[in-house]
Amino acid sequence: MTNTSPLPFLAEAPAIDGAPEWLALLRRSAVARYGQIGLPGPRTEAWKFTNLNALKALQPVPATGLGHIERPDVFAGLDATELHISNGALSVFSGDVPPTGLEIVDLGDPDTVPAWVSETLGTVAAIDRHPFAALNTAAFIGGVAIRVTRGTMLEKPILLLADTQGGETQGGEAATIAHPRVLVVVEEGAVADLVEVHTGAGSHVSNTVVEVTVGVGARLGHYKWQAEGVDAFHLAMTAVRAEAKATYDNFALSTGARLARNEIRGELAGGHVDYRVNGAYMATGDQHLDTTTLIDHAVPDCHSQEIYKGVLAGRSRGVFQGKILVRPNAQKTDGYQMNRALLLSRDAEIDSKPELEIYADDVKCSHGATVGALDDDQLFYLMARGIERERARALLIGAYLDEAIATIERAPVREAFRAVVDAWMQANVTGADTGGAP
């Protein structure tokens, strides 16, 4: 039985009646909230740079079936525990027996989930002012919950491949929508790395919610490559709660989708948290890539760092909204934020909105935003040494992006992401028309 809600994108969502109580409660409040706030419009402040008209024009049907997902070439050499989410449902788990200290739970079977799942799911990702997180909570059909138990140090990263199969765009075939849901619980003193890769061809909407808790003294490296096809809408909310002395090292690399919104909200809930949310976005054609982050310093003595680098070619558009909130008692907060955008064509555009909201008086917070084109002096210097213009451009852009990529602490992931950048450059800078580039 399915839901027959008149709300947008909620038709054919899973029925609430019959769901286990914890889930029914979650779903009811999510549907109610979603109904109240509705989809963001042009006057919604949090969405003012990202117009959703093209998304709203879709009447997507739920993506169904478990498809085969190929591991991207750049990760071919990565020794990882592999998970697949196909069309919003957990489809593959590479290790039938997970490594000691790692628990994998299929959210597609909510009747049998252990207490740590039912008690945590929905407690990190806020739905109050986040219609897509509410929509995901109302509509997810599956996904995965991952627990790294107390004190465990996982040697292999967890590689999560999420793929959504869309309808054909040519001829107006119906688009699809999927709501991948992920819960990651890293318990006290545990150490793990999670690599997310999002792909999908055809016209579709991937509306992902990833909830993360990093326990006392625990460490999570969380790396995401959004590589959806050019007809995709990718809406993602990553919500993180970091307890005392936790380390969270996040990197988001966005190269895919027609329109993507990658929202990362972090609550620094205990002292001496080391919280890093860095990333890079590279867009071409008509792509629109939105990065929106909130770093919520709720307690004293935490450190946060955010370095984003963008490269925008063609008629693409980038959006960066980064807010650092320092609550009244969050003294001795040390926060640094920087967004740099490189425009490779006259038609590319960036909207950058850094925001510091500070209520404590003994803090060290700085932020900055720059936008520019490639430096002619640097280009000439390289060419004066015999390096062709296109190669010179690629070298400069690569060096510029590498300042961000270099922040990724886990080496094999860093190298894989470097390879993604190189491939993007090969396709879009070296010998490619970047639309009236300087």
Residues facing residue 208 across a β-bridge: 236
Q: Which is nearer to another protein, 398 or 435 (CB)?
A: 398
Q: Which is nearer to another protein, 111 or 376 (CB)?
A: 376
Q: Which is nearer to another protein, 201 or 387 (CB)?
A: 387
Considering the rule CB under 8 A, would residue 359 count as an interface residue with another protein?
Answer: no
Q: Which is nearer to another protein, 403 or 415 (CB)?
A: 403
- Amino acid at residue number 237: M
Q: Rounded to the nearest 5 degrees, what angle is found at the Cα of 67, between the Cα atoms of 220 and 147?
A: 25
For residue 65, count CB atoms less than 10 angstroms from its CB and return exposed for 0-12, middle for 13-18, buried for 19 or more. Answer: exposed
Considering the rule CB under 8 A, would residue 399 count as an interface residue with another protein?
Answer: yes
CA 80 to chain centre: 20
Beta strands in 298-419 (DSSP E): 303-312, 317-326, 334-343, 349-358, 364-372
Considering the rule CB under 8 A, would residue 389 count as an interface residue with another protein?
Answer: yes
Binds another protein by CB under 8 A, chosen from 126, 395, 423, 432: 395
* 3 state DSSP class of 180: coil
Q: Which is nearer to another protein, 155 or 388 (CB)?
A: 388
Considering the rule CB under 8 A, would residue 356 count as an interface residue with another protein?
Answer: no
Which segment (209-217, 229-237, 256-264, 380-388) binds another protein by CB under 8 A?
380-388
Residue 426: Cβ within 10 Å count: 12
Counted residue by residue, the chain has a size of 438
Which segment (28-36, 158-166, 167-175, 393-401) binds another protein by CB under 8 A?
393-401
**Residue that has been written with the tokens 């699809």 in this structure:** 176
Binds another protein by CB under 8 A, chosen from 403, 409, 415, 422: 403
The C-alpha atoms of residue 85 and residue 305 are separated, in whole angstroms, by 30
Size of the site for another protein (CB under 8 A): 22
Residues 2-61 that bind another protein (CB under 8 A): none
Binds another protein by CB under 8 A, chosen from 93, 378, 430, 435: 378
Binds another protein by CB under 8 A, chosen from 230, 382, 419, 423: 382
Which segment (1-9, 46-54, 311-319, 382-390) binds another protein by CB under 8 A?
382-390
Q: Which is nearer to another protein, 302 or 397 (CB)?
A: 397
Q: Which is nearer to another protein, 17 or 376 (CB)?
A: 376
Q: Are 331 and 297 in contact (CB under 8 A)?
A: no
Q: Which two tokens stand for residue 271?
A: 């002292």
End-to-end CA distance of the chain: 57
Considering the rule CB under 8 A, would residue 371 count as an interface residue with another protein?
Answer: no
Considering the rule CB under 8 A, would residue 172 count as an interface residue with another protein?
Answer: no
Sheet (strand 81-86) strand order: 89-93, 81-86, 158-163, 191-199, 219-226, 247-254, 274-283, 303-312, 334-343, 364-372
Considering the rule CB under 8 A, would residue 426 count as an interface residue with another protein?
Answer: no
Quick one: CA torsion of 325, 356, 402, 251, rounded to 10 degrees?
20
Considering the rule CB under 8 A, would residue 387 count as an interface residue with another protein?
Answer: yes
Give contact residues for another protein (rule: CB under 8 A).
376-378, 380-389, 391-392, 395-396, 398-400, 402-403
